[in-house]
Amino acid sequence: MNEYNYIKNQDEEIYDTLVGEEEREKKGIELIPSENYVSMATREAMGSVFTNKYSEGYPGRRYYGGQEFTDAMERIAIDRAKQLFKAEYANVQPLGGAAANVAMYFALMEPGDTVLGMDLSHGGHLTHGHPTTAINKVFNFVRYKMKDVDTGEIDYDHLREMAIEHKPKIILAGFSAYSRELDYTKFKEIADEVGAYTVADMAHITGLIASGVLKNPFDYGFDVMTMTTHKSLRGPRGGMIVVRESAEIAKKINKAVFPGMQGGPHMHQIAAKAVAFKEALDPSFKAYAQQIVKNAKAMEVVFKAENVRLMCGGTDNHLLLADVHSSLNITGQEAEDVLEEVGITLNKNMIADEPRTAMDPSGIRFGTPAMTTRGMKEEQATRLAEIMIEIMRNKDDADKKAELQKEVQEMCEAFPVPEKFV
């Protein structure tokens, strides 16, 4: 791994935090579903000479000189993104998933227009119009929910009724804490009925779509996908917008990203995206994505066998959302804390129609992209799920925590964080 020699000699305080984080990641098991490990090649690109370069504009149309290599690199990233997602157009400049969503809204709507998206409490994302966000002051957001929180079935009839009533400009499919596959055909049919754009926010399952393990919304006629490039895609932290086939939409997206929402793109970040895209195009990536889902299903089996309530009744993707308060008499915050004590990192999370507060909710959200990157398979996923439940049931037992912490550390030693993927 990187020894950070220059930082070590120049800035000891920051060096200590870098080494500390590297050790934490090596010695603990990461189950936050929005996190993953990147290859050393991706990390090299993030720390590369491209961090020096200002490149406002797009390849061939920059506002500064000296763009020979930035243009070549960004074109490579765009071409690889298009190939991954069966898209005619791609914008690789958004700095993150939230930035991608906001640019998409401004590209396709005027202030006051309506978006119909998933309610945060039922698995949606803050950028889908939560009242606390700034974007909620610009556009009108209405929200659909699940019909049955124990199966995950979306209430498509109510979604259609809301679309007819509110006439949204965008119908948004996507989530951050929802574990089932969406019926893209129904979304498309409803959108066509009311004349709305179809947009899929696939931030969490980007890698599962790129690999063909989960459905690609473009195969069902969707117009646009927004996404992050980390999480299941296993790239650097960043965002991206891809357009299925419309040159008109792509032109609006490009204008909304630059100069609409941001200035000079982070070229080192785009270089790292390009490296990760090449890794995702390798045949081995599909096997990795398949294993992500297998591992999540293995954890589901354990939680069900132990009568822990799972929102949506289980998972079709990389994540699970468990109601541990009603099942194990522990809050989401308590569970997050006690699991971190033994080296397992996940996040507290609200469940559908949450009776508690967002900072101390009933649920925990966990997923398998990072543990799968380490090479763990169903056997390890099963044991991890057993350890999680045992810890939560014995949260005040110091001896039990010490015993299981040792087992987690041994598992980490047996499955080290890899430096390369292909």
Say if residues 188 and 161 touch (Cβ distance below 8 Å).
Answer: no
Tell me if 331 is assigned to some domain.
Answer: yes
**Residues 370, 346: one domain?**
yes
Residue among 119, 201, 300, 334 flagged as catalytic: 201
Is a pLDDT exceeding 80 seen at residue 229? yes
Is a pLDDT exceeding 90 seen at residue 119? no
Residue among 127, 206, 226, 228 flagged as catalytic: 228
**Residues 158, 262: one domain?**
yes
**Residues 100, 248: one domain?**
yes
Give pLDDT, residue 122. 81
Residue among 44, 56, 386, 407 flagged as catalytic: 56
Residue among 54, 58, 255, 306 flagged as catalytic: 54
Q: Residues 297-314: pLDDT tens digits? A: 999 999 999 999 999 999
H-helix or E-strand containing 224? Answer: strand 224-228
**Residues 344, 375: one domain?**
yes
Q: Residues 339-397: pLDDT tens digits? A: 999 999 999 999 998 999 989 999 999 999 999 999 999 999 999 999 999 999 999 99
Give pLDDT, residue 297. 98
- Which of 265, 281, 297 represents a domain boundary (last residue)? 281
**Residues 185, 240: one domain?**
yes
User: How far is the C-alpha of 138 from the C-alpha of 174, rounded, in Å?
Assistant: 20
User: How far is the C-alpha of 393 from the C-alpha of 318, rounded, in Å?
Assistant: 24
Q: Band of the pLDDT at 113, cuts 50, 70, 90?
A: very high
Task: Please provide the size of the chain in residues.
Answer: 422
Q: Band of the pLDDT at 129, cuts 50, 70, 90?
A: confident
Catalytic residue status for 237? yes
For the chain, what percentages of helix, strand and coil (3-state, to nearest 5) are there?
50, 15, 35
| Percent of the residues in the chain that have a pLDDT greater than 70, as a whole number | 100
Say if residues 342 and 398 touch (Cβ distance below 8 Å).
Answer: no
Catalytic residue status for 356? no
Is a pLDDT exceeding 90 seen at residue 102? yes
Give pLDDT, residue 130. 81
Tell me if 168 is assigned to some domain.
Answer: yes
Tell me if 419 is assigned to some domain.
Answer: no
The set of residues, in sequence order, having a beta carbon less than 8 Å from that of 391 and lying 6+ positions away, is: 338, 339, 342, 344, 400, 401, 404
Is a pLDDT exceeding 60 seen at residue 1? no
Residue among 231, 348, 365, 374 flagged as catalytic: 231
**Residues 275, 290: one domain?**
no
Is a pLDDT exceeding 80 seen at residue 96? yes
Q: Which contacts of 339-342 are long-range, i.e. CB under 8 A and separated by 24 or more positions?
A: 339/364, 339/388, 339/391, 339/392, 340/28, 341/401, 341/405, 342/387, 342/391, 342/401, 342/404, 342/405, 342/408
Catalytic residue status for 110? no
Tell me if 189 is assigned to some domain.
Answer: yes
Say if residues 204 and 319 touch (Cβ distance below 8 Å).
Answer: yes
Tell me if 119 is assigned to some domain.
Answer: yes
**Residues 227, 308: one domain?**
no
Q: Residues 58-74: pLDDT tens digits? A: 999 999 999 999 999 99
- Mind giving me the DSSP string for 173-207? EE-SS--S---HHHHHHHHHHHT-EEEEE-TTTHH
Catalytic residue status for 56? yes
Lowest mean pLDDT among 70-79, 176-185, 248-257, 324-333: 176-185
Q: Under the phi-then-psi rule, with left for phi > 0, alpha for psi from -120 to 50, and beta for the rest, what region is 174?
A: left
For the chain, the domain total comes to 2
- Which of 247, 281, 315 represents a domain boundary (last residue)? 281
Nearest one of 10, 335, 7 to 22, comparing CA atoms: 7
**Residues 255, 394: one domain?**
no
Tell me if 82 is assigned to some domain.
Answer: yes
Say if residues 347 and 331 touch (Cβ distance below 8 Å).
Answer: no
| Percent of the residues in the chain that have a pLDDT greater than 90, as a whole number | 93
Give pLDDT, residue 132. 86
Residue among 215, 237, 278, 309 flagged as catalytic: 237
E-only strand ranges, 236-313: 239-243, 309-310
Tell me if 27 is assigned to some domain.
Answer: no
Give pLDDT, residue 194. 98
Query: Mean pLDDT for the chain?
Result: 96
Catalytic residue status for 143? no
**Residues 171, 245: one domain?**
yes
**Residues 275, 329: one domain?**
no
Q: Band of the pLDDT at 255, cuts 50, 70, 90?
A: very high
Average pLDDT rounded to a whole number, residues 404-416: 97
Is a pLDDT exceeding 90 seen at residue 121? no
Query: Pairing relation of β-strands 57-58 and 239-243?
Result: unpaired
Is a pLDDT exceeding 80 seen at residue 2? no
Domain range for residue 329? 284-414
E-only strand ranges, 229-318: 239-243, 309-310
Specify the pTM. 0.96
Q: Provide the CATH number for the domain around residue 198.
A: 3.40.640.10
Inter-CA distances, 146 with 34, 178, 243, 270, Å: 22, 10, 27, 36
- Which of 236, 260, 281 represents a domain boundary (last residue)? 281
**Residues 269, 293: one domain?**
no
Q: Provide the CATH number for the domain around residue 354.
A: 3.90.1150.10
Tell me if 32 is assigned to some domain.
Answer: no
**Residues 56, 148: one domain?**
yes
